Structure 1
């Protein structure tokens, strides 16, 4: 009996409720006085347990005599509890996902280390459905498997770089300044997936270790996307007019420009 009581307690029965239910099963039907006597419990605690069990549909009062109780059939009870658990678990899953999605734009996850940055970038690439924007001086061949997988899904991949890049046999659109002095240095990456998810990371001038951040924040995704687009616009304008259009007349003489 102790084992059954313990199992019922795991299913949100109180110890008294479990004992009362078991006693009713054994005795077919009883009133509160008889149950209290059988269990050697106070009548107040037994009646309180009966009231709770009745409200839960676990015991019933017999027609014509509200003082006599009968226990629900065990098979019916356990099936009912299983169904309620599944329904509750399914609803909980939906609500938790809604909570996660509503909070996702506020999350910023820090990433440390080159290998972790590469791993996260590959993971993000494989979530793409429409378009990917990248600004990087990384070796693009690192992502060849991911790029080819996205090609099968007809995902557009747009890449900008100041550095010379090796894009051989890669299904990507490349816009590059072709600076050979930057080739192979691998100092930074900016990645946007479907204008929703963003990864930014760099090695920095005064540290060897890569540091970065990933977020689902739509605003940051827009800012980085615009940054990459503007880099490409300026490159195309330079190529079209065969001169660098950002001269001293255009510059603002800011800390950013003079660093």
Structure 2
């Protein structure tokens, strides 16, 4: 019998070291009393009785009197481990569901790489589905690809604001659109970009100006606020151009 391996595995399922030793001793010599177990293990009787009490409370052993001496024996081993497996399965299933609901706390949220245009589109859909108040977008992606999600936001009365350099009409999707064409960009189909901020709590940035599409998603509030303010500033500058003309950029530069 590989006693050390048995003890190690008992520890893996929650036994303390001395609990495991007392338990194994009772399997080898059932019906022993505290003094006999202490002598066999070389521990003080107080230590053995403490561990016997723990094992009994856990339901792993039973005690009975014989001529006024308390004797101990293990419960049915098969039943012990069947009960243990059920408890572990129940606890695991409970934790899998409940831990999904736990709010992530802390000052810093993680940043996640998005390695393809499809990854970015999938994350964009997820952000739209979770939006509750307002979404800011700067992109030349075709928003009709996200018609289902945008119509849901429209039904809920959630404001969606788009800044773009491309003349595309999205009123049917409930998107508040601001177009700035003063730079006369000639953006080809292969040159795509996106910036999104939802509720100042989640953001996406992505582009493929340097070849393969890549991007970042985060629930970092600082990044979400930066993206929000960037899009707001683009809209504000566009409105200044409409009021004062395209030379407003020179005026702002000189004043600054």
- How high is the TM-score relative to the length of structure 2? 0.70
Runs of 5+ consecutive residues of structure 1 not aligned to the other structure: 255-259
State whether residues 20 and 46 of structure 1, in contact with CA within 8 Å, keep that contact through their aligned partners in structure 2: no
Match 2:195 to one of 175, 180, 190? 190
Q: Are 1:54 and 2:53 an aligned pair?
A: yes
**Alignment CA distance shift 1:216-1:72 (3 Å):** same
RMSD: 4.3
Give me the whole-angstrom Cα distance separating, in 1, the residues matched to 2:75 and 2:131: 53
CA 245–54 in structure 1, closer or farther in 2 if over 3 Å, else same: farther
From 171, 184, 192, the equivalent of 2:174 is: 171
What secondary structure, in the 3-state scheme, does the structure 1 residue paired with 2:168 have? coil
Structure 2 counterpart of 1:223? 226
Which residue in the other structure is 1:114 paired with? 117
Relative to structure 1, is the Cα distance of residues 10 and 173 closer, same or farther in structure 2, using a 3 angstrom cutoff? same
Secondary structure at 2:216 match in 1: strand
1:130, 1:155 within 8 Å by CA — same for their partners in 2? yes
Q: Residues of 2 paired with 1:97 and 1:211: CA distance? A: 30
The normalised TM-score by structure 1 is 0.69
SS of residue paired to 1:173: strand
- Structure 2, unmatched stretches of 5+, are none
For the structure 1 residues 185 and 171, does the alpha-carbon distance in structure 2 shift closer, same or farther, using more than 3 Å as the test? farther
What is the deviation of 1:248?
2.0
Report the Cα distance in structure 2 between the residues aligned to 1:66 and 1:198, rounded to whole angstroms.
73
Q: Distance in 2 between matches of 1:96 and 1:44?
A: 49
Match of 1:146, SS state, is: helix
Q: Is residue 32–residue 46 contact of structure 1 (8 Å, CA) maintained in 2?
A: no
**Match of residue 158 from structure 1:** 161
Length, aligned pairs only: 237
Distance in 2 of aligned mates of 1:53 and 1:175: 76
CA distance in 2 between counterparts of 1:96 and 1:129 reads 18
Greater CA deviation, 243-252 or 178-187?
Answer: 178-187
